[in-house]
Structure 1
Amino acid sequence: MVPEQREALDESITWMRAGRMSRRRFLERMATLGLTSTAAVSLLEACGGSANSPTGNGAATNLVWQSEQDSTPTYRQLVQTFNETIGHQKGIHVTWNQGPSNTNDLLSKYTNMLRAKDASIDILSIDIVYPAQFAASQWIRPISDSQWPVSEREKYLAGPLKGCTYKGQIWAAPFRTDVGLIYYRTDLVSTPPATWDQLTSTAQQQQSHAKYGYVWQGAQYEGLVCNFVEVLYGYGGRVLDPNDPTQVRVNSPEGRQALERMVSWVGTISPEAVTTYMEDPARLVWQNGDAVFMRNWPYAYLLSNDPNQSQIKGKFAITGMPHGGSNSTGHSSLGGWNLSINAFSPHAEPAWEFIKYLLQPPAQKKAMIEASQTTTLKSLYDDHDVLNRAPLFGQLKPILETAEPRPVSPRYTDVSDAIQRQVYQALRREKSPDEALRDLEEALKKFSNSYPA
């Protein structure tokens, strides 16, 4: 919505409450504003009385939540429940906007909107890699300790919280997360690999039983960043200093070990074509029974156990990322979505009420059970109902506890692009690992010189 559309929306709701607009006219006007019929009916239901408040006087505060894409009814139902309960009590009504299938489209929408200081969306779902960038641009509001005390935040997974933190301040609330996993064939591998050396040697030994030893995401896109940092973190390296994003750490002995290991896989335990693989191409090779190991996200678990499309149902398990060198702990890369408040919205407090509702056990549990979303409230990974419906979540808990975000930077888009280009050139053997890391270091230092103060 542009500001004019938002103004027309508020005006229409006011007229409905005052009895000055018919139901038919209201729905027609909502269609001209670009609202879906579901959103319009939700608004209409909220307009049933003279107000959306327990006393029936005064107009409701109308909020708009722009989410990522949800292919289930879950987000719509969560909004409806809020509007009928907490929203009704506090005079708040939320309209949900479905997100696009391409997350880059959503980023473009936010960028154009927020550069114009547009307040037409109050609550923004943003990818795990963008809180620092949005915070540095002053596009989102910080979440204060009084709103969300440390004692409450401690109930949520540490990794997603790190991704929402910039300069010691929380800028978004982590609603759902995602985590990189190693899938392995239990009919070929008796013990999951603890180190990258073990994964490599086991893949070599078992390759006579499968076409490939290891498939992963080596194409030049965001997935390659996730794969690279998982190997890098496993060797104890970092792209940027976690406490100071202006300090570049990638060109290190650990960085060299990690990139040399990845390059060594291409054409040996991994196909040459792995440099074209994204998530689904790797998954399809794996499901056909053509790989001993695969790196992918939790979404591949149910698909790999579907007998209608998988040759390996019941023949695999998952584990966390291996470690390497002198390091003793592996770290999976985090994905996920966070809830933030538009800095230009005049409704910061009502927006926080809705975000707080989404963080509570009932909403988080519903997202886990009905949408298979990996939410962030730690206690739910031991919840009887959740584990009965989706035992995978019990296996994810220890992996999530050691997972780490991708580099936190106010210029993440540039950081990601530089990692993609240099790591990809190394995988294609267009550069040596040393050259790629040196060039990556130089590029990242240029970005760090232009970070906001």
Structure 2
Amino acid sequence: MFSEQRTEMEESIRKIRNGRINRRTFLERVGAVGLSSAAALSLLEACGGSSNSTGGTGSSTSLVWLSEQDATGTYVALVNEFNQSIGKQKGIHVTSQQVVSTDDLLARYNNMLRARSASADVMSIDIVYPAQFAASQWTVPITEAQWPTSEREKYLPGPIQGCTYQGKLWAAPLRTDLGVMYYRKDLISQAPATWDDLVKSAKAASPSKIKYGYVWQGAQYEGLVCDFVEVLYGYNGSILDPNDSTKVTVNSPEANQALTEMVSWIGTISPPAVTTYKEEPARTVWQNGDAAFMRNWPYAYALGNDPKQSKVADKFDITSLPYGGSGTVGHSTIGGWNLATNAYSKNADACWEFIKFMLQPEAQKKLALNASLTGALQSIYSDSDVLAKQPLFSKLGPILKNALPRPVSPQYSDVSDVIQRNVYQALKKQVSVSAALSNLEKDLQAAIKK
């Protein structure tokens, strides 16, 4: 696409989204610079072709925020609030554009950014992708002048770490997620601090009192990466050097202890079928009252406490992930979404104004109150209004302070794939733990050199 075509296309996409031109005019304008209707509509669709926030205001600067889906309407409400306050004052209008599937959203980013397009200015990106986007020069770093360290320290350290690559912050954490340990308080007298504690309690409960001791996510998919690194971090191990993402550190005594621990659960405290479990199968077993412990995400808390669909309502609690070996604290894996500025946007300063608005206590509080989303600002976990409506937040706050990201790498997709494959082979006893870690080390070294 020639530069004049791209400029016309980006401007036309902005105008059709803001309701300033109709579909016919859009096709006429892009046709005038040599693009076919089919090509224009395909690119429009790839970049998101409709708006779900209130219409434009004639502002001098129009921005598009492309994000994951928010079914509660809270994202749109916050966009409209920004437009009516700071946006009106500074001549900025933001349009919200949401995508249902995370995979579809990533595909749109790839299409848009490889074409050097600015059809979206502010981008919501999953916690595993800031390094990849930074290495591709697709995003703009957040400077100390924009967001001083004194302000960053008010936010959860794990998400900040996940957004940092080569000493720079490439996205701002909007909301987070984390793995937690569920346990049956009617069967377990005390929450386990260590993996040894959990195994001992699980064996005491199962099979004499309950069918299974512990259910978790053992299938070969992204969830297994989360489960593995949580155990690994609890043993003081790591996948890559936190200070040098090109250095592989996984083939260590700590990793051997961690993976040996996980293999030992299968067929003892965990059913053999756990190697087919993702989040929902584990939750189903748990809610049917068939497990003493479960590793899952916070979404399962409210569902488990619904007596209409759960046999364990009011019978369980949550705690942090255990630790083992030389570890002294458990570490949850973080999920979540972060806001970044498209490097091809011509309105980087305006993008930061919107991102900064979404980081403020008022917006973070509304994410918690209206959408039950775990924000990145630490103070919301002790906010009286939030705790009155979302009492779970009081339990999540302390756990989040020790939560850590998955390996930070610009080749994360490849890194994840080789972790899944090699850990899964060990769980299925297709290879020994030592062989799995040796193979994983070699595969990671090859992956990060791509």
Match of 1:163 in 2: 162
Q: Aligned Cα RMSD in Å?
A: 2.2
Partner of 1:421: 421
Determine helix, strand or coil for the equivalent of 1:67: strand
Name the CA distance, whole Å, in 2 between partners of 1:186 and 1:309.
19
Does the 8 Å contact 2:220/2:275 carry over to 1?
Answer: yes
Which deviates further from its counterpart, 92-101 or 257-266? 92-101
Question: What is the match of residue 212 of structure 1?
Answer: 212
Q: Give the distance between the partners of 2:143 and 2:342, measured in 1 at CA.
A: 15
2:128 equivalent to 1:116: no
Counterpart in the other structure of 1:189: 188
Q: Structure 1's 3 and 424: CA in aligned 2 closer, same or farther, altered over 3 A?
A: farther
SS of the equivalent of 1:198 reads helix
Query: Where does residue 402 of structure 1 map in the other structure?
Result: 402
Query: What code does the residue aligned with 1:400 have?
Result: L
Letter in 1 for 2:182: Y
CA distance in structure 2 between the aligned counterparts of 1:133 and 1:246, rounded to whole angstroms: 13
Conserved? CA contact 2:230–2:331, under 8 Å: yes
What is the CA-CA distance between 1:70 and the residue it aligns to?
1.1
Q: How many Å separate the matches in 2 of 1:282 and 1:14?
A: 44
> In the TM superposition, what are the counterparts of 1:64-79 in structure 2 within 5 Å?
64-79=64-79
Q: Aligned to 1:118, what secondary structure does the other structure show?
A: coil
The amino acid of 2:79's aligned partner reads V
Instruction: State the match for 2:3 in structure 1.
Output: none
Matches of 2:243 and 2:331, distance apart in 1: 18
Paired with 1:310 and 1:27, the residues of 2 have a C-alpha distance of 51
Alignment of 1:196-345 (within 5 A): 196-207=195-206, 208-345=208-345
Q: Kindly tell me: are residues 13 and 407 of structure 1, through their superposed partners in 2, closer, same or farther at Cα, counting changes over 3 Å? A: closer
Residue identity over aligned pairs, in percent, reads: 60
Q: Give the distance between the partners of 1:296 and 1:71, measured in 2 at CA.
A: 22
SS at the partner of 2:437? helix
Which whole-Å deviations, capped at 9, do the CAs of 1:318-344 have from their partners, x for residues lacking one? Answer: 000101012111111110100001111
Contact 1:381 1:393 in 2 (8 A): yes
Following superposition, the deviation at residue 36 of structure 1 comes to 7.3
* Structure 1: segments with no counterpart, 5+ residues: 53-59
Secondary structure of 2:328's aligned partner: coil
Partners of 1:28 and 1:359 in 2: CA distance: 38
Whether the aligned pair in 1 keeps the contact of 2:18 and 2:95 (CA below 8 Å) is no
Tell me if the contact between 1:3 and 1:119 (Cα under 8 Å) persists in the aligned partners.
no
Deviation at 1:112, TM superposition (A): 2.0
Is the contact between residue 3 and residue 120 of structure 1 (CA under 8 Å) also seen in structure 2? no
Determine whether 1:393 maps to 2:405: no
Q: Distance in 2 between matches of 1:151 and 1:38?
A: 36
Equivalent residues of 2:51, 2:96 under 8 A apart: no
Secondary structure of the 1:374 match is coil
Please name the residue that 1:57 is paired with. Answer: none
Offset of residue 14 of structure 1: 9.6
TM-score (norm 2): 0.91
Residue 99 (structure 1) shift: 1.8
SS at match of 2:54: helix
Pair 1:289–1:25, CA change in 2 (3 A): same
TM-score by length of 1: 0.90
Equivalent-residue separation in structure 2 for 1:373 and 1:367 (angstroms): 5
Gaps of 5+ in 2: 1-5, 29-40
1:246 positional shift: 1.1
2-side partners of 1:405 and 1:13: how far apart? Answer: 35
Residues 365, 427 of structure 1: alpha-carbon distance in 2 compared, 3 angstrom cutoff: same
Residue number in structure 2 paired with 1:136: 135
Aligned counterparts of 2:324 and 2:364: Cα–Cα separation in 1: 35
Amino acid at match of 2:214: Y
CA contact (8 A) 1:334 1:406 kept: yes
The one-character-per-residue Cα deviations of 1:392-426 (angstroms, maximum 9, x if unpaired) are 10111110001111111111111100000000111
On the 8 A contact 2:17/2:51 being kept in 1, the answer is: no
Cα displacement (A) at 1:12: 6.1
